[in-house]
Each structure stands twice: as structure tokens, then as C-alpha cells.
């Protein structure tokens, strides 16, 4: 019985030794346990830099020039749970916003308890500051009591600002930037003064005409006879 047991243990031990040896040989041959980059990878994926290629969209000035106070009134419904905007309206969770544009940041509504993050911000509610505030109040004034996440749409922010402007006025709207005009016409048509065609003005005399010709163009032999 003991001999049979010893034989079984011997075969088990031998099997383990063979398996261990095979594992060592396989790891050595196939470089197991480590990851190596191939010399010529099949393809490489390059990640774009953060923010690269992102479309910034139209400027605030452009959005304000094409926006609508009526559309802003509909968006302002999201704010009406905390704010009133009618002249003489009472402050609620947030201050009354009538005439807020152009007023000092954190000091528009008398008697309202602004957070120190907002009252200590400084500056006035100009269009850029209001746009940044509506984008993310917490980013604009870290520590503000306002829990509103913000408006991700530039069009919505511009429309709300126009609605505020219609309720109490504010500074003059910024002028939208003028777009650069292409010098070349549509479908490859040359701009004025370019390419072949007649040019207004006095006709060139023979000498001037000869001076304007290319080297491969023939010139009359008697051009200088009239000088």
C-alpha cells in the first residue's frame, strides 16, 4: 500500500516538475511575463491635444446682434424660481434682476445678502462678465451660494442677456466683428485688376506697350522710329 502511495506521489511530483519546466521554456521562448512593442505596429492612434479643433462658435457680440429678447424670456423661465425681473419686484432666493446689467457685481439689489464670493468679486455686470456667470456661476465666483449649473448654449446666454437688457437697460451692445472679405470672387473669378481683360484709363503708347510685353512676344522693329 505504501509502495503504491509513493508511486502516485512520485508521478504527481514528476508531472509538476515537467509542467514547471515546460512553463519556463515557453516563457523564455515566447518572452512571457513582459510586453514588448512590435517594431512596426499595425497602426498608431494619435490623440488630439485638449481643446484642439474645438469650434468656439460665434462671438458674444455676434450672438447678441442676432439674438432675441423674446427667446430669452423663455429661457429665463429656468431662473424665475429664484429671481424676479419686474421693476420693483421683491428678491427671493436670488436678487431681483431688473436693471442688473451695468451694475456692480454683488451689489445690485440693496439689502440682499450676497455671498462673499460674489460681493468680493469686483467689477460690473458687463456683457462678458454676465456671459461668464451664466456659463458657470461656480467657476465665475467660486463659493457662490447660487446652485444653478449654468447655460451651455451661447445662444441661450445671449438671449437671456438681451431679455435682461430689455428689463432695465444697460450698456451699449458690443459691435460684432467684421468678417474678412475674400479678394478672389466666386468660382475662381479673378478680383478686379487681376487676369486678362481691359483696364480703364488712357491707352498705352507703343513704347509702354512694348515694355509691358513678355520676353517671348515679338516687338515691331520700328517701335523707336516715332520717338
Domain 60-166, CATH homologous superfamily name and number: Cytochrome c-like domain (1.10.760.10)
DSSP conformational letter for 150? -
Domain ranges in the chain are: 60-166
Q: Is 162 exposed, middle or buried (0-12, 13-18, 19+ CB in 10 A)?
A: buried
Q: pLDDT tens for residues 31-43? A: 555 545 545 544 3
Q: Is the pTM of this model over 0.75?
A: no
Q: What is the DSSP letter of 104?
A: B
Question: CA Rg, the chain, in Å?
Answer: 39
Contact between 161 and 177 (Cβ < 8 Å): no
The rounded percent of the chain whose pLDDT value lies above 90 is 50
187-207 confidence digits (pLDDT tens): 555 555 555 555 555 555 555
* Per-residue pLDDT tens digits for 132-174: 999 999 999 999 999 899 999 999 999 999 999 999 999 999 9
Contacts of 122 by beta carbon, 8 Å cutoff, 6+ apart:
105
Q: Is the pLDDT of residue 3 over 50?
A: yes
Instruction: Check residue 177 and give its pLDDT.
Output: 81
Amino acid at each position: 500500500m505504501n509502495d503504491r502511495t509513493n508511486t502516485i506521489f512520485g508521478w504527481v511530483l514528476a508531472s509538476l516538475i515537467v509542467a514547471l519546466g515546460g512553463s519556463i521554456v515557453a516563457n523564455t521562448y515566447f518572452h512571457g511575463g513582459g510586453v514588448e512593442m512590435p517594431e512596426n505596429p499595425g497602426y498608431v492612434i494619435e490623440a488630439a491635444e485638449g481643446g484642439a479643433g474645438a469650434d468656439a462658435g460665434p462671438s458674444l457680440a455676434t450672438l447678441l446682434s442676432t439674438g432675441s429678447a423674446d427667446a430669452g424670456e423663455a429661457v429665463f423661465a429656468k431662473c424665475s424660481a429664484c429671481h424676479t425681473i419686474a421693476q420693483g419686484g421683491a428678491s427671493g432666493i436670488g436678487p431681483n434682476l431688473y436693471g442688473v446689467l451695468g451694475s456692480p457685481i454683488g451689489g445690485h439689489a440693496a439689502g440682499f445678502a450676497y455671498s462673499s464670493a460674489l460681493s468680493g468679486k469686483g467689477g460690473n455686470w458687463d456683457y462678458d462678465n454676465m456671459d461668464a456667470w451664466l456659463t458657470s456661476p461656480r467657476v465665475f465666483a467660486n463659493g457662490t451660494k447660487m446652485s444653478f449649473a449654468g447655460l451651455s448654449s451661447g445662444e441661450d446666454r445671449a438671449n437671456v442677456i438681451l431679455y435682461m437688457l430689455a428689463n432695465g437697460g444697460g450698456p451699449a451692445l458690443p459691435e460684432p466683428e467684421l468678417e474678412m472679405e475674400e479678394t478672389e470672387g466666386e468660382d475662381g473669378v479673378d478680383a478686379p485688376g487681376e487676369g486678362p481683360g481691359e483696364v480703364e484709363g488712357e491707352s498705352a503708347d507703343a513704347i509702354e506697350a512694348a515694355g509691358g510685353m513678355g520676353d517671348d512676344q515679338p516687338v515691331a522693329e520700328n517701335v523707336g522710329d516715332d520717338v
